[in-house]
Amino acid sequence: MLNVTNDITLQDWELSESFMRASGPGGQNVNKVSSAVELRFEAQRSPSLTPAVKTRLKRLAGRRWTNEGAIILQCDETRSQVRNREIVRDRLVDLIRQALVAPKRRIPTKPTKGSQRRRVDAKKQRGAVKTLRGKIDKDAL
């Protein structure tokens, strides 16, 4: 079991880990030991997440979200399999916590009359400056 918050706990059947050889630090040991971790979380089937959280989680996960509704995270940062497991589980918890925060609804604002007038006046003034840059008639002089 993996605790995300006090209310949300992920069950063991929702998580599956597989180990493979890493392409990172470790020298010759890299070729012998499977230290990289791939964590698969069955997000779509998870009973502990609400549909709104699942939708936000899907958007946050991006390419890591599969067609079956699972999130796949990988880690091969360290030489230790145990440390890589901890890192990938922490990443999953962080991702779920981000999805728990509902974004604020944007309330569109309207510009004030004064700001609209100032904008139009500035545009008129700029246009007047540009018209003064026109060609000068020699006959008018």
pLDDT of residue 115: 97
Arithmetic mean of pLDDT, 43-63:
91
Q: What is the dihedral of CA 127, 129, 135, 141, to 10 degrees?
A: 130
pTM above 0.75, yes or no: no
20 phi/psi in degrees, rounded to 5: -145, 170
Flag the least confident range among 1-5, 82-86, 94-98.
1-5
Give the DSSP letter of residue 67: T
Arithmetic mean of pLDDT, 75-80:
85
CATH of domain 2-100: 3.30.160.20
DSSP3 helix / strand / coil % (the chain, rounded to 5)? 45, 15, 40
Q: Which residue has the higher pLDDT, 56 or 7?
A: 56
Residue 114, pLDDT > 80, answer yes
Beta bridge partners of 19: 37
pLDDT of residue 12: 84
50 phi/psi in degrees, rounded to 5: -80, 160
- % of the chain surpassing 70 pLDDT: 94
Q: Which residue has the higher pLDDT, 28 or 134?
A: 134
Flag the least confident range among 19-28, 88-97, 109-118.
19-28
Arithmetic mean of pLDDT, 117-139:
90
Residue 124, pLDDT > 80, answer yes
